Amino acid sequence: MQENFDLQSYLTEGVEDIVAGALKATLKNPRESAFMLKFAAASRIASAKRRKAEDSGEHIPPFLIASITSQCNLHCEGCYSRCNHATVDSAPVKQLTAEEWARIFDEADDLGISFILLAGGEPMLRRDIIRAAGKKQNILFPIFTNGTYIDEEYFALLDKCRNLIPIMSIEGGREKTDARRGAGIYDRTIANMDEFQKRGLIFGASVTVTKQNYREVTSREYLDSLSARGCKAVIFVEYVPVTEESRSLAPTDPEREYLQDAIQKLRESYGEMLFISFPGDEKSSGGCVAAGRGFFHINSHGGAEPCPFSPFSDVNVKQTSLLEAMHSPLFTALRSGDLLADDHAGGCVLYEKREQVERLIAGK
């Protein structure tokens, strides 16, 4: 890790940039802008909580990723969740209940976590959990969804609870989106976007960046089409291989550099859109920010994991609190060692070093 690097300040500045970008993106939407102003105040309070904890020797990340279900109706090419067997076709069993997730959301709020990314599987299959999230107005919940379950009931909930932001998956135009996600998914996603715009609801797009689409999804033509439909946030998620067979989809270092340069230019060109890259440039943050450095992951069964791409866990939040989970032997070893800062060929350092992670779990 970088010496004399203030991670909490780095993360706080990142959160402030996201909130400022969101405010700018919602200026022409009075209801959304009013909510974002309230959230900005809540975010400052959360940052103060995290700084106070940091000064006492307790590092609290501003982000949590919550995979609230293992069920999904799609079979996207190279899906990390299916490759990890975290998403399956059989009926989910022994998953966290809505009440258990509500307790997690309460704990996150108390700790000063500002953002909880809802994922799956397909998170919109769990209406009960999303309703619970809507009640936590101090936390922003981006919902990473394939969009196929958005209906009138969801439109009403999203209109009422402005802290719930649907982030719909789209991989470029019709050809690339349908090739990866299934026939007809692109048209369904576009129809959702048009309906959100008609109703004055804020939404974003999630783009999985691969070797095949990295130029298309950062092109002015593509971003103009999203902007015209009212999209206010684009989250570029670099494809992370979790099997040797899926490595061919992952961007190389030159392609990742192209992506970061392109995103910087987009930020300068589109005043009313927010652009976020994940995982982004790890060099600027002193290495990978998983395992509680910048975020961590709770899977649908309650296992606390470093990252969705690294499904290793030695503690379950059914038996412990969020704060205690962050002090698990695995998380502690990852944060205190050099593994998160190790050089790697791209994608996920924890996947590349999975044998070392497994040894840490085994206590070796």
Ranges 38-52, 187-201, 202-216, 274-288: which has the least confidence: 274-288
- Confidence grade of residue 296 (pLDDT, cut at 50, 70, 90): very high
Contact 195, 155 (CB under 8 A): yes
- Confidence grade of residue 1 (pLDDT, cut at 50, 70, 90): very low
Determine the pLDDT at residue 113.
97
Per-domain residue ranges of the chain = 7-361
pLDDT by residue (tens digit) across 92-151? Answer: 889 999 999 999 999 999 999 999 999 999 999 999 999 999 999 999 999 999 999 999
Across 172-181, average pLDDT: 95
Across 206-224, average pLDDT: 95
**What angle do helix axes 185-199 and 174-181 make, rounded to 10 degrees?**
110
- Confidence grade of residue 27 (pLDDT, cut at 50, 70, 90): confident
Ranges 18-27, 112-121, 213-222, 310-319: which has the least confidence: 18-27
Determine the pLDDT at residue 291.
87
- Confidence grade of residue 327 (pLDDT, cut at 50, 70, 90): very high
Angstrom CA distances, 79 to 88, 127, 174, 206, 346, stand at 11, 23, 19, 14, 17
User: What is the C-alpha separation between 116 and 126, in angstroms, rounded?
Assistant: 15
pLDDT by residue (tens digit) across 43-84? Answer: 999 999 999 999 999 999 999 999 999 999 999 988 888 988
- Confidence grade of residue 2 (pLDDT, cut at 50, 70, 90): very low
Higher-confidence position of 197 and 353: 197
CA-based nearest residue to 168, from 141, 194, 151, 144: 144
- Report angle CA 117, 22, 109 to the nearest 5 degrees: 45
Determine the pLDDT at residue 3.
46
Name beta bridge partners: 234.
205, 275
The per-residue pLDDT of the chain, averaged, comes to 90
User: What is the C-alpha separation between 11 and 274, in angstroms, rounded?
Assistant: 17
In the predicted structure, residue 344 carries a pLDDT above the cut 60 = no
Q: What is the DSSP string of 285-306?
A: GTS--TTTTS--EE-TTSBEES
Across 329-336, average pLDDT: 89
Determine the pLDDT at residue 4.
55
Check whether domain 7-361 has CATH 3.20.20.70, yes or no: yes
Across 293-320, average pLDDT: 93
Determine the pLDDT at residue 343.
60
248 SS3 class:
helix
Strand bridging mode 304-305 / 297-298: antiparallel
Q: Is the dihedral of CA 352, 354, 356, 360 positive or negative?
A: positive
Q: Which two tokens stand for residue 274?
A: 């927010």
Ranges 7-11, 70-74, 192-196, 277-281: which has the least confidence: 277-281
Strand bridging mode 233-238 / 274-278: parallel
Strand bridging mode 164-169 / 274-278: unpaired
In the predicted structure, residue 177 carries a pLDDT above the cut 50 = yes
The pTM (predicted TM-score) of the whole model is 0.93
Ranges 16-20, 87-91, 118-122, 278-282: which has the least confidence: 278-282
pLDDT by residue (tens digit) across 308-325? Answer: 888 899 999 999 999 999
The amino acid at 271: G
Ramachandran quadrant class, 267 (left: phi over 0; alpha: psi -120 to 50; beta: rest): alpha
CA-based nearest residue to 226, from 245, 244, 204: 204
- Confidence grade of residue 281 (pLDDT, cut at 50, 70, 90): low
Helices (H), the chain: 7-25, 30-55, 80-83, 98-111, 127-134, 152-160, 174-181, 185-199, 220-228, 253-269, 322-325, 329-336, 349-352, 354-361
pLDDT > 70 in the chain, percent: 95
Determine the pLDDT at residue 313.
93
Determine the pLDDT at residue 28.
86
In the predicted structure, residue 8 carries a pLDDT above the cut 60 = yes
Determine the pLDDT at residue 342.
66
